[in-house]
A and B are shown apart, each in its own frame.
Chain A
Amino acid sequence: MAASRRRSTKAQTDTAPAQAVSSEELLHYYREMLLIRRFEEKAGQLYGMGLIGGFCHLYIGQEAVVVGVQAALKEGDDVITSYRDHGHMLACGMEAKGVMAELTGRIGGYSKGKGGSMHMFSREKNFYGGHGIVGGQVPLGTGLAFAHKYLNDGGVSAVYCGDGAINQGQVYESFNMAALWKLPVLFVIENNKYAMGTSQERASAGELHQRGAAYGIPGYQVNGMDVLEVKAAADKWVNYIREGNGPVILEMKTYRYRGHSMSDPAKYRTKEEVEKMRSESDPIDQLKSKLLAGGHTDEDKLKEIDRAVKAIVTESAEFAQQSPEPDPSELWTDILVES
């Protein structure tokens, strides 16, 4: 703790030793990450076919972050994030069908086709969006944590934002109140190195995980390409938060393979840089090697998972094309709650 409060320019990394993780859990993480990867690839494909419109921000490359953090959360905890949100929804247990049908703007989507890629919610799964204004989700998520404290229900709010959002003023207004009132909130900075086309070096002074230091918020850097490191850090700090110690910042060093959105040529980085991350640090490949080397599973079992995941994604794509567009009468529903 004390270390995190030092005004050091040196990164404070958290490499909490992983608790023993069962083979079953490891396979679960593998399946979850693969589901997100395959889902996003399919979304990219449907976008290419003109079935998904507007903005579509893919999560490919960052899967370990959301899967690792989710593994540390409990029933009743909340999740809120930005517009790069498909992975978070799947990790929260929302159905691939409903997410994909929202992307295609169909009535079977989570928001009946009225929200789209950037605006999806699930009251049932405690997923509070899906927000299109960069940084807007941070005070909202702090408000979810406020509600947990107000209701004294023991819940924690996981608030994700990117390395771009971290420069918005409202993020610091939220840090201040969260620390002042010791709110149960985990701030996860998904640092994928590029805020749209602007690299972290060109946009952000100092270390991102230390951005809460002035408020006394502990902050650590975590290898966001390794689901076990993410899980171990999240376990440790979510417990700390749940015990009433106030907020924590975890900066996940991660990487997105695709452009910022589907219409991004990604000329701001080299092919070699992307290829190096894919070949050396891919979260799914890394876990696969560990699973096989540790004798947790065999190729056949992994193939079976691949097939099962592919079936879910294929089904979701079919559903997303078969589900009808919303009836024109839907234009006028859900504007106000009728009292």
Chain B
Amino acid sequence: MPIEVLMPALSPTMTEGKLAKWVKKEGDTVKSGDVLAEIETDKATMEVEAVDEGRVGKILVPEGTDNVAVNTPIAILLEEGEDESALSKGGNAPAAAAPANAAPASEETKAAPSAVQAPAPAPAPTVPAAPVSAPDSDEDKFFAKTVKKTVREALRDAMAEEMRRDEKVFVMGEEVAQYQGAYKVTQGLLQEFGERRVIDTPITEIGFAGLGVGASFKGLKPIVEFMTFNFAMQAIDHIINSAAKTLYMSGGQMGSPIVFRGPNGAAARVAAQHSQCYASWYAHCPGLKVVSPWSAADAKGLLKAAIRDPNPVVFLENEILYGQSFDVPEDEEFVLPIGKAKIERQGKDVTITAFSIMVGHALAAAEELAKEGIDAEVINLRTIRPLDTATIVNSVKKTNRLVSVEEGWPFAGIGSEMCALMMEQAFDYLDAPVARVAGLDVPMPYAANLEKLALPQVADIVKAAKQACYR
């Protein structure tokens, strides 16, 4: 059957071109890889190679022809054993010649495929607009028997229990083994689990983050500790491009059951490069879960959940909280659901959302507000992504006011997301504009007085809540 040679597209944006020159003539034999013709686009002249073998039976578009549309038949090839009589039967099996060297569309600036080539997109289903929430937590029953632990100990216990439970769990990072953790979070793990499962890495964030993700592709469950999340900026390519996206890019064949954990946000007097909150950065990305505990019980229950989760989890801790003590359930089966917020204080006048260290500030603010007769409800978000929108929306339906508190910068921050959530799902319930309390929009200063000014304080939350209540 004769083969039609079609005008090829030489780049995703090309719709037509000039057939500048025929290199092969009618009657010439061609084999795969031979240059058939030269074609000019508005950008470059390039050679077109044959893909099929045969003999040029007929040239349909003479050289010098301008504006030849992509996919127009330009010649007919006769296959082995065919003669010119086959031409009258018409070509079948249309086959564009392969562009040898295509137009120099820049790799970075290439436009979307032309309308001619792009199939009409089917309407896409939209994200469910109704508030979403994980199933209710049964955590209360675990609090019948508790013990006082620091956040640091709770995190360590969570890792140790999960490592005892699952041989595939291991922890790696800088100073996690012999040094016992830069902030002593991994204290004792090397002694119990040995150097096979508690691994000191070189200072090589993108390297060990990528290595951890690769190991997780094979079903291991790495806990990758960043000494602080500030250093994870070196590794963010693997957290997002490799860990978060692979399940989707592989059509569900392989994902990354990994935990990236470490202190996030400001510590004390360590200035701009060591004091940044990454909650909104990671929360932006589909394919990741983002968790940020406040209490020791949060830390333990959520870290155990993160380790058991088959997805990549970014676990944002706080250095200042490491030494604070809280009641923690003794039961090893105490695991908190990811995606579920906790109402830490019931109230009816205004809702305050916060995560990590800001939950403590919000609770302190609520006590101040109570003295002035304002009954605030405080929600500990616990998980940033997926956000427990149902708990927040339901609270606002009751209080009609929302104050969002975070330590990070305001622009495109978690508070911005809270505003969007209120617009989309609680607009008719609001009696006041949503108020954002956030870190100031400046790099973190070193001076003690400036650092304090840059971070949200209890008084800032009190002020914002009073404004929301028109007080």
Give A contacts to B, CB under 8 Å.
38, 41-42, 44-50, 53-55, 78, 80, 109-115, 119-123, 128-133, 136, 138-148, 150-151, 169-170, 173-174, 176-177, 180, 196, 257-267, 278, 325, 328-329, 331-337, 339
Contact = CB atoms under 8 A, between A and B. Distances in A.
Contact of B211 (A54, A113, A121, A139): A139
B104 A264 contact: yes
Interface string B201-241: 11010111111111111111000000000000000011001
Contacts of B242: 131, 133, 136, 140
Contacts of B201: 177
B101 A129 contact: no
B254 A123 contact: yes
B338 to A, nearest CB: 9
Contact of B103 (A54, A128, A265, A335): A265
Nearest to B250: A121
B277 interface: no
Interface stretch (B105-113, B147-155, B418-426): B105-113
Nearest to B104: A265
A111 B250 contact: yes
Interface stretch (B117-125, B346-354, B359-367): B117-125
Nearest to A318: B93
Shortest 6 CB-CB contacts between residues of A and residues of B: A143-B214, A139-B210, A173-B207, A48-B8, A44-B98, A50-B117
A263 B100 CA distance: 9
A48 B217 contact: no
A122 B114 CA distance: 31
A257 B100 CA distance: 9
Nearest to A111: B251
A265 B71 contact: no
B206 A265 contact: no
Contacts of B287: 335-336
A325 B118 CA distance: 12
8 contacts: A45-B97, A49-B9, A55-B107, A121-B246, A146-B215, A196-B107, A263-B110, A332-B127
Given A42-B51, A45-B98, A112-B251, 7 more contacts: A45-B8, A46-B96, A139-B210, A140-B242, A143-B214, A144-B217, A259-B100
Contacts of B246: 121, 129
A212 B250 CA distance: 31
Interface in B296-350: 308-311
A74 to B, nearest CB: 16
Contact of A50 (B116, B215, B251, B286): B116
A331 B9 contact: no
Nearest to B7: A48
A162 B238 CA distance: 19
Contact of B8 (A49, A147, A266): A49
Contacts of A334: 247-248, 250-252
Counting chain A CB atoms within 10 Å of each CB, which of B94, B102, B170 scores highest?
A: B102
Contacts, number: 248
Contacts of A174: 207, 210-211
Given A174-B207, A176-B204, A140 B101 contact: no
Nearest to B311: A336
B412 interface: no
A257 to B, nearest CB: 8
Contacts of A115: 249-251
Contacts of B211: 139-140, 142-143, 146, 174, 177
A114 B250 CA distance: 7
Contacts of B214: 80, 128, 139-147
A263 B218 contact: no
A136 B241 contact: yes
A132 B210 CA distance: 14
A148 B217 CA distance: 12
Given A45-B96, A121-B253, A177-B211, A336 B110 contact: no
A258 B100 contact: yes
A112 B248 CA distance: 9
A41 B98 contact: yes
A180 B201 CA distance: 10
A48 B206 contact: no
B370 interface: no
A258 B311 CA distance: 39
B99 interface: yes
Contacts of B98: 41, 44-45, 47-48
A148 B211 CA distance: 12
B286 A335 contact: yes
Contact of A177 (B95, B113, B207, B220): B207
Contacts of A38: 32
Contacts of A113: 251
B210 A150 contact: no
A176 B70 CA distance: 50
B111 to A, nearest CB: 11
Nearest to A122: B253
A112 B251 CA distance: 5
Contacts of A262: 10-11, 99, 102
Nearest to B309: A339
Given A128-B214, A176-B202, A50 B103 contact: no
Nearest to A333: B252
Interface in B60-105: 70-71, 94-105
Contact of A264 (B70, B101, B119, B311): B101
Nearest to A143: B214
A42 B73 CA distance: 17
B311 A47 contact: no
Given A139-B211, A144-B215, A263-B10, A337 B311 contact: yes
A136 B237 contact: yes
